[in-house]
Amino acid sequence: MPFKEKSHKSTIHECAKPNAHDDLPRDDQACTYSKQASPNPNQRVIKQKHRRWRQRIMTQVANARMLDLPMTQALTINWEQICGIKDLCKSLQSGFLRRLQRLSKRLRFELAYVWVMASGTKVGFHAHMMLYWPQRFIRNLMRELHRLTQDPSAIHIQVIREDYYWGQYLADHIIKHSHYSWSRNFGYSRNLLI
């Protein structure tokens, strides 16, 4: 079957808006202006969601600063590597946070945290956390982490130098794994609710 060229009428919607001195394209001519890509509605929704998450997380970071509980430690836990079963991982996360609360009371300081959970294609079900944990008690935190697993590749901890940067990272993380997350994937300690 021979190739047939489709005849199509150019419309102003397919063309970039012309300058004042340009002639508008006629129906019998092909549009010579470059086409503008209309924004993908899914991209717009993702950007709006990202702004909302960023605002919520930044609010919690600002509340932590106001309460003199600045985020000092960044913690990444690969729950799927530790336990393997996603439903069990969710209960382990909440149990781990309760243990940290009890430990902080025993050490006589107030714990504050913000967490994000997601299920990625490569790393599976994992969590990123920012928490206020004084440096003088870091050994106690490390012992609590070793109770979870002896595998050093499953947990990563580092000192936070800029908490607003890490807040932005957590917001980006939610959007990055938005297609693979189905349940609640954001939380913070009650004392940050002002």
Task: Please state, in angstroms and as integers, the Cα–Cα distance from residue 174 to each residue in 28, 45, 182, following that order.
Answer: 49, 14, 11
CB 170 within 8 A of CB 75: no
- The rounded distance, in Å, linking the Cα atoms of 170 and 105 is 26
Model confidence at 41, pLDDT cuts 50, 70, 90, reads low
CB 128 within 8 A of CB 119: no
- The rounded distance, in Å, linking the Cα atoms of 79 and 130 is 16
69 plus 116 within the same structural domain: yes
pLDDT reported for residue 178? 52
CB 174 within 8 A of CB 52: no
Classify residue 174: in a domain, yes or no. Answer: yes
Which has the higher per-residue pLDDT, 40 or 189?
A: 189
Model confidence at 137, pLDDT cuts 50, 70, 90, reads very high
56 plus 103 within the same structural domain: yes
131 plus 45 within the same structural domain: yes
- The rounded distance, in Å, linking the Cα atoms of 113 and 88 is 21
One-letter identity of residue 170:
L
The pLDDT mean for the chain works out to 76
- Pairing outcome for strands 112-120 and 155-159: unpaired
Which has the higher per-residue pLDDT, 130 or 80?
A: 130
106 plus 149 within the same structural domain: yes
One-letter identity of residue 141:
L
3-state SS, 59-84, equals HHHHHHHHCCCCCCEEEEECHHHHHC
33 plus 82 within the same structural domain: no
Residue numbers of the domain that contains 11: 7-38
140 plus 176 within the same structural domain: yes
135 plus 66 within the same structural domain: yes
CB 153 within 8 A of CB 119: no
Q: What is the pLDDT of residues 172-194, one digit of tens each?
A: 776 665 544 445 578 899 998 87
171 plus 90 within the same structural domain: yes
110 plus 25 within the same structural domain: no
